[in-house]
Amino acid sequence: MSSVKVAVRVRPFNSREIANNAKPIISMTGNTTTIVGGGGNERTHSFNFDYSYWSFNKDDSHFASQKQVYDDLGVEMLEHSFEGYNVCIFAYGQTGSGKSYTMMGKPNDEQEMGIIPRLCNHLFQRVHENTD
């Protein structure tokens, strides 16, 4: 187990980006994220992360759902907390990059629920099931 894990997630275009006919410049293969330069600058930069989530288009076969993100990140953190470890999950990025959606999502929608409400549900479920 590594003490720090880094995950990146590509979000869908927002309405402004769609209106401006924006084109994606990021691709993901496994845990490698590649950025292709635009505007005539075709240099590429590739980065490896512990997790790379493609959430750009729900129709893509490798689309990463809220559940997948939680299963990969939140479940392990909850388990470590019950083992007595301090854990922290935080989202970092510019305004509109999808941090709140990943962390909270839509708490009353099972499919769109983010890491925090899923983790809280499982936390209270475990506490309720534990008779010790």
pLDDT at 38: 66
DSSP E strand stretches across the chain: 7-10, 26-29, 32-36, 44-48, 51-54
Q: What is the pLDDT along the chain (132 residues), one digit of tens a residue?
A: 568 999 999 999 999 999 999 999 999 999 999 998 766 667 899 999 999 999 999 999 999 999 999 999 999 999 999 999 999 999 999 999 999 999 999 989 999 999 999 999 999 999 998 876
* Contact by Cβ (8 Å): 99, 53: no
Binding site membership for ATP: which residues?
Answer: 93-100
Which residues participate in the annotated binding site? 93-100
Q: Where are the domains of the chain?
A: 1-64, 65-132
Kindly tell me the burial class for residue 69, based on how many C-beta atoms sit within 10 Å of its own C-beta (0-12, 13-18, 19 or more).
Answer: buried
